[in-house]
Amino acid sequence: MNEAEVTLAILAGGRGERMGKPKSLLRIGNQPILTYLLERFAWRGPTMLVSSPGRENPPGAEGFDVEVVDPVEGMGPVRGLITAFENLKTEMLIVASVDMPLIGKEQLLWLMQQMEERPQACGLMMERATVEPFPSVFKKTRAGCPWYESRSMRSLTKTEGFAVVLAPGNWPDQVWTNLNDPADFAAFEKLAPYRNR
């Protein structure tokens, strides 16, 4: 499948309680984190921002093709996934999270390829020591999977038709950097790679 036919959605509706503010308000260098992510991904297909009530239109939202808003605040990333599906216009959806700034296009394209090699799968996540919920990939045509019953992203892997694949061992550990709190963000800012797109 061509990249132009796959929607990239970034989930950015969380409260960011441990961070002390919504992560969609973080800035990397001199730009909003959402702008940084869009430039990093350089996605050729449709882009979708998933936000939540009270946190709509964060800095950088204007760079997305569309912003969609969860109907209820505080329901977590599975609700964001459902909101993305409810507004999806392509057959495949790749989902990334606003708080993983070192995921790159290489990871997204690799996921796309893995999904294409599994035509019966309705969704796919990667695994290292544990399952990594993001980034992940889903098919619209298989949207009958019982995702609405799932309480967490990881629990989706227990649904029929969902696949889990080992992430390539040659990806650097920094790829999985997750900005959970101010200490994480301070450590990330000291990394040289984040400055290199």
Tens digits of per-residue pLDDT, 127-163?
998 899 999 999 886 455 555 556 678 878 887 788 9
Q: Locate 172 and state its tokens.
A: 């650097």
| pLDDT at 197 > cutoff 50 | no
| pLDDT at 125 > cutoff 80 | yes
Packing angle, helices 33-41 and 105-116, rounded to 10: 60
- Per DSSP, the three-state class of 146 is coil
Q: Locate 19 and state its tokens.
A: 């961070």
- Per DSSP, the three-state class of 25 is helix
Q: Backbone phi, then psi, for 162, in 5-degree steps? A: -90, 140
Contact, 136 vs 124, CB < 8 A?
Answer: yes
- Per DSSP, the three-state class of 192 is coil
Gap between the Cα atoms of 166 and 168, Å rounded: 6
Stronger pLDDT, 64 or 120, i.e. the higher one: 64
Residue 197: count of CB within 10 angstroms of its CB = 11
Contact, 61 vs 34, CB < 8 A?
Answer: yes
Gap between the Cα atoms of 173 and 18, Å rounded: 23
| pLDDT at 107 > cutoff 50 | yes
Q: Locate 113 and state its tokens.
A: 């390829």
Q: Locate 170 and state its tokens.
A: 């040659």
Q: What would the CATH number be for the domain defined by 3-191?
A: 3.90.550.10
How confident is the model over 39-48, as a mean pLDDT?
A: 96
Average pLDDT, the chain: 88
pTM, two decimal places? 0.90
Stronger pLDDT, 144 or 77, i.e. the higher one: 77
| pLDDT at 194 > cutoff 80 | no
What pLDDT does residue 147 have?
Answer: 58
How confident is the model over 82-97, as a mean pLDDT?
A: 93
| pLDDT at 47 > cutoff 60 | yes
